Amino acid sequence: MSTKKLQLMHLFACPQCKTRLFPIKMKGKCPRCGFRYRKSGGIWHFLKTGDVQTQSSAKRYNSMHKKNFIGPDDGSYEILGSFARGNRTVDIACGDGRIETLAPETVGVEFSLNALKNAKSRGVKHLVHADAQALPFTDNSFDVAICAGSLEHFVDPQSAVNEMARVASIQILTVHKKLPFPLSLGERVLTNLGRVTHQPIERPFSRRALMGLLRKAGLHTVFEGVWTLPVNYGKAVSYLPQLSSLPSCHFVVSIKRK
């Protein structure tokens, strides 16, 4: 299935009813349910924000992405980019398109329009304005679906994982790790104390909860580990320097069994 040049237009399906779409012009609608989509400013628009919480989350992200959003610079994007290169890859919640600049055939999906515009200005080719919980692609469109540091911010993470399982055979995720109780409680206090800017939704996952999501989506977890990037505790680190050595995320690779 791997290919160098990606024909994005051949992969689209209605985010609402999953009917295959054949965009021939810059805009159109789903023949089955009437969902309208369009391409403007080099970005495909397929955003279906059904629930109010996702809408308000998208709004907050949009204001966060007015400025360029600087992600970690520990080599993790290079590694994820190397997974993406040479495969048909979709990057769920791509933000400013860090993976896409390293692996140019990657399709970046994002619900913040400002983030997409930043990605576009950085030369990213394939950008889709859509909700991770309602992806506008046909089943098995991709070899790999990446979701780096975003699952903990979704309203309905199970639907997002189900969608990753539907559209791709391999899933690569980094997911904010929940500390065991009572440290989890301490974490909350410390992040507040440290005045760490929270995302609209911040729901770290226990290993068990994450494995549950993947299992329910029919996925088999093959690799499991931790991303060594420390949690951002802001100023709290000056009181408790040990905090800066706590790894922040689960790192999992799963496959859809045929």
Instruction: Give the residue with the Cβ less far from Zn ion, 91 or 131.
Output: 131
E strands present in 78-218: 89-92, 107-110, 126-129, 142-148, 168-176
Instruction: Determine if 32 is a binding residue for Zn ion (CB under 5 A).
Output: yes
Instruction: Determine if 94 is a binding residue for Zn ion (CB under 5 A).
Output: no
Rounded least distance, CB 124 to Zn ion, Å = 27
Instruction: Determine if 33 is a binding residue for Zn ion (CB under 5 A).
Output: yes
Which neighbouring-strand residues pair with 180?
none
User: DSSP secondary structure string, 206-255?
Assistant: -HHHHHHHHHHTTEEEEEEEEEEEEP--TTHHHH-GGGGGSEEEEEEEEE
Region near Zn ion per CB under 5 A, out of 2-10, 16-24, 146-154, 223-231: 16-24
Q: d(Cα 79, Cα 102) in Å, to the nearest integer?
A: 10
Candidates 165, 2, 9, 199; CA nearest to 92 is: 165
Binding residue for Zn ion, selected from 9, 17, 26, 222, defined by CB under 5 A? 17
Instruction: Determine if 21 is a binding residue for Zn ion (CB under 5 A).
Output: no
Region near Zn ion per CB under 5 A, out of 17-25, 74-82, 117-125, 153-161: 17-25
Rounded least distance, CB 36 to Zn ion, Å = 10
Region near Zn ion per CB under 5 A, out of 6-14, 68-76, 192-200, 243-251: 6-14
Instruction: Determine if 29 is a binding residue for Zn ion (CB under 5 A).
Output: no
Candidates 119, 130, 104, 115; CA nearest to 39 is: 130
Instruction: Determine if 14 is a binding residue for Zn ion (CB under 5 A).
Output: yes
Binding residue for Zn ion, selected from 6, 21, 30, 90, defined by CB under 5 A? 30
Instruction: Determine if 221 is a binding residue for Zn ion (CB under 5 A).
Output: no
Instruction: Determine if 137 is a binding residue for Zn ion (CB under 5 A).
Output: no
3-class SS of residue 186:
helix
Contacts of 147 (CB under 8 A, 6+ apart): 91, 92, 93, 132, 160, 164, 171, 172, 173, 174, 175
Kind and range of the H or E run holding 27: strand 27-29
Instruction: Give the residue with the Cβ less far from Zn ion, 31 or 218.
Output: 31
Instruction: Give the residue with the Cβ less far from Zn ion, 16 or 206.
Output: 16
Q: What are the backbone dihedrals phi and psi of residue 153, each rounded to the nearest 5 degrees, phi first?
A: -105, 0
Binding site for Zn ion (CB under 5 A): 14, 16-17, 19, 30, 32-33, 35
